Amino acid sequence: MSDISGMTNAALLGRAAAWHRDGHDVAVAMVMQTWGSSPRPVGSVMIIRDDMAVEGSVSGGCVEGAVIDAGIEAIGSGTGRRLDFGVADARAWEVGLSCGGRIAVLVTPVATDGLPSERLAALCEDIDSRRAARVQFDAVTGAVRDAGPDRGAAGECGLAADESLFTFTQVPPRRLLVVGGVHITQFLAPMAQQAGYDVVVIDPRAVFAAAERFPGTRCLTAWPDEAMAELAPDTQTAVVTLTHDPKIDDPGLRAALASEAFYIGCLGSRRTHAARCERLSEAGFAAETIARLHGPAGLDIGAKTPAEIAVSILAQMIAAERKGGGS
């Protein structure tokens, strides 16, 4: 899940932990419940620093002012509270929910009686290790109400039936592994990051995987099969190969097809893709496995430029994840 600026919950929680390590007091706001036209889903995160620096979003802008005020109050008091906004509330008109939406937000400080700093650090450790984790909060005071880190936790964020507890679940963030640090990748990487993906560019040719070509993006100068063994693509991972060179693309595709990646895309013409599929068949992959490939990668939008091709690939990735298809 990402906010309107493209930052994922994982990135926001990591930023909150970094702020706290740097000596700042911090509050975390989480969407607990929504009804009607509320623009942000349950589990959306916003972080507030003691000097009123803010990252993330709980409503797309309409209740942020009130939530920031509550965050500063929580930092001062050391305890959190629940905020409710809705059309029956006169304040809803002030914060922009006049079109029928309602939203419940839990604001809690990074503090002993809120989200303890060590618990936030454990949550960030799970995120960095791509483990699912869960924290339960008192839905009124914002205090943590469970026995400790619940690693491998499944399920969605939400309020208990009696609304006494709010369960916040963090699943591994979506990830994109791009084989080939080519021109298209220079557009696809930042676009995917804005859409909430962690991006890794893989290219054994150091000149293509140079850090200055991909500011803020992790780059690996390894052969794709070696990189995939380290990165272990999972159900939250998309893989795209863009080099046009079978010596580089094929090892990445073989590793991706052996994984649970939700999307595997390959650049190239239909003739190139047919030859690719034939090579994979000769390597022992079954036809139904090879059919997982999206080739040529990207939705058919008539894309011509590298930027347009990147848009088409990203759109197909999102469709594959959200709709279970994307052809």
62-116 pLDDT per residue, tens: 688 899 999 999 999 999 999 998 755 555 545 555 455 678 999 999 999 999 9
CA neighbor of 84 nearest in space, from 103, 62, 57, 65: 103
- Residue 77 contacts residue 143 (beta carbons within 8 Å): no
Identify whether 100 is part of a domain: yes
Identify whether 1 is part of a domain: no
Domain boundary among the residues 155, 170, 185 is at: 170
What is the pLDDT at residue 4?
44
* 258 and 289 within one domain: yes
What is the pLDDT at residue 57?
87
* 139 and 226 within one domain: no
Whether the CA torsion 287, 297, 131, 28 is positive or negative: it is negative
Domain boundary among the residues 170, 187, 210 is at: 170
What is the pLDDT at residue 55?
94
- Residue 8 contacts residue 1 (beta carbons within 8 Å): yes
* 123 and 209 within one domain: no
Question: Which residue type does 256 have?
Answer: A
pLDDT in tens, 104-157: 999 999 999 999 999 999 999 988 888 888 999 999 999 999 877 776 666 788
Strand order in the sheet with 293-294: 218-220, 198-202, 175-179, 237-241, 263-266, 293-294
Identify whether 33 is part of a domain: yes
* 122 and 84 within one domain: yes
* 85 and 51 within one domain: yes
Identify whether 3 is part of a domain: no
Angstrom distance (rounded) from CA 104 to CA 70: 13
Domain boundary among the residues 119, 148, 170 is at: 170
Identify whether 96 is part of a domain: yes
What is the pLDDT at residue 264?
97
* 315 and 208 within one domain: yes
**Number of compact structural domains in the chain:** 2
Predicted model pTM: 0.69
* 243 and 210 within one domain: yes
Q: Which two tokens stand for residue 202?
A: 């893989």
* 214 and 105 within one domain: no
Identify whether 147 is part of a domain: yes
* 193 and 125 within one domain: no
Residue-range definition of the domain harbouring residue 238: 175-323
Residues in the chain predicted with pLDDT less than 70, given as ranges, are 1-6, 36-39, 60-62, 87-101, 151-154, 324-327
Identify whether 46 is part of a domain: yes
What is the pLDDT at residue 148?
76
- Residue 246 contacts residue 268 (beta carbons within 8 Å): no
What is the pLDDT at residue 325?
47
Identify whether 139 is part of a domain: yes
What is the pLDDT at residue 111?
97
What is the pLDDT at residue 322?
86
CATH code for the domain of 284: 3.40.50.720
What is the pLDDT at residue 326?
43
* 224 and 254 within one domain: yes
* 123 and 254 within one domain: no
* 124 and 252 within one domain: no
